[in-house]
A and B are shown apart, each in its own frame.
Chain A
């Protein structure tokens, strides 16, 4: 499912213009991005949690060339699904 299909389906379900849904999606994504950049977790009820996680520096070694690089620290964004996903996947596996 791509972004356009997602917006289209939400607009149909809510019976509101696609432009409005598109704007809301953009604002939601912007909020998520800003909060993650502020090292803040974002909880979406029934869906999951977006979490930023700092990764420390490490040395990357190429076994072929023997070169070693000191890789700088960075932040990764992870997603932890809500427990409701258990039941949904069970139902999917039973189909």
Chain B
């Protein structure tokens, strides 16, 4: 269950304003700064702050009696430990566990073992907060009379964070590196009414860079697509149709090629019988009447009108591979049909 999103105070402001438009952005901003400022001050002064439906924050000084293992050097007079806890309200706990509300503890019978599931003794499981944060503070020694420079030196020492829960999830240990700028922008607790506005400049810069790179990517892709797109063929005229489909007969080189092919392949011929038309011949030879147009094209110099071909005319049968003649291929048939229509327009 990885954490996917992070939201910030600006999102809280947007939410508040979405529920009540009378609240201005500045009002909400000042409110949030003041709320958590007062909360922090209350926690430091009184040690406990309760926020209804959210939870209770606690800050207390602790001794070695509470946790001898962690607080090993509390014997020293100049080290103090503080512990901060957050105990979420039942409302929050129930809400985040809505998906698991139908799960209940199950009694395990003797002998039932689960290798991958850890076993915990009753009383040792975490009862209160998920984890506590412990602050180790080094103070001036009791007998010493610190001068101003020494006091400054002492206060300048940054305390260490010691986390009570040893099994720190990776996501938690990585938190400071993930959001260092946001959390460390200012140490003011309760700001003045004016309040200092913080601008997250890096967010729009990064967003702008992402948008620019995405635009470049799509622009280049569309450019590539355009160059790859094959332009549609021009309007079909009889000549164009013949150029596209039928082999060219104008050049000598083509004739030479055809004759070469003819030398290699056997030229089939047929004689038109009585009552036979080009269509019937095509049906007989190629399995579909629509292929008559290829018989005509192959014999154009002999056929003045494909609608009236005299009986006994010797006709060269077209090579099926050359014209893609295939009675079982619907595309081939359709192509022949369209070509036939174009041819007939000239004779209609």
Interface residues of A (CB under 8 A from B): 1-3, 5-6, 9-10, 13-16, 21, 23-54, 56-63, 67-94
Contact = CB atoms under 8 A, between A and B. Distances in A.
A75 B276 CA distance: 87
B104 A72 contact: yes
B184 A33 contact: no
23 contacts: A3-B51, A13-B193, A14-B31, A25-B35, A30-B53, A33-B53, A35-B5, A39-B1, A40-B3, A43-B182, A43-B183, A44-B36, A46-B188, A53-B172, A58-B120, A78-B131, A80-B133, A84-B187, A85-B84, A87-B187, A89-B59, A91-B155, A92-B44
Nearest to B49: A1
Contacts of B150: none
B46 A1 contact: yes
Interface stretch (B93-101, B229-237, B308-316, B319-327): B93-101
Given A10-B38, A45-B182, A77-B88, A53 B169 contact: yes
B34 A10 contact: yes
A74 B99 CA distance: 9
B75 interface: no
Contact of B135 (A35, A41, A61, A85): A85
Contacts of A46: 36, 183, 185-188
A84 B159 CA distance: 11
B120 A1 contact: no
Given A36-B96, A43-B183, A85-B133, 17 more contacts: A1-B39, A6-B42, A6-B49, A29-B54, A39-B1, A41-B3, A41-B6, A58-B125, A62-B122, A70-B117, A72-B100, A75-B1, A77-B130, A78-B131, A84-B183, A88-B189, A89-B44
Contacts of B44: 88-89, 92
Nearest to A44: B36
Given A43-B179, A46-B188, A48-B183, A31 B12 contact: yes
Given A39-B3, A85-B135, A49 B175 contact: yes
Contact-residue bracket for chain B: 35 or more
A15 to B, nearest CB: 8
Contact of B92 (A27, A33, A49): A33
Contact of A57 (B48, B117, B139, B186): B117
Given A80-B175, A89-B159, A45 B3 contact: no
A1 B234 CA distance: 84
Given A38-B5, A44-B9, A72-B100, A59 B108 contact: yes
Interface stretch (B13-21, B212-220, B253-261): B13-21
Contacts of B11: 31, 35
Given A28-B35, A46-B183, A60 B125 contact: yes
B108 A68 contact: yes
B57 A21 contact: no
Contacts of A21: 31
Contacts of A44: 9, 32, 36
Given A3-B50, A36-B95, A75-B100, A80 B172 contact: yes
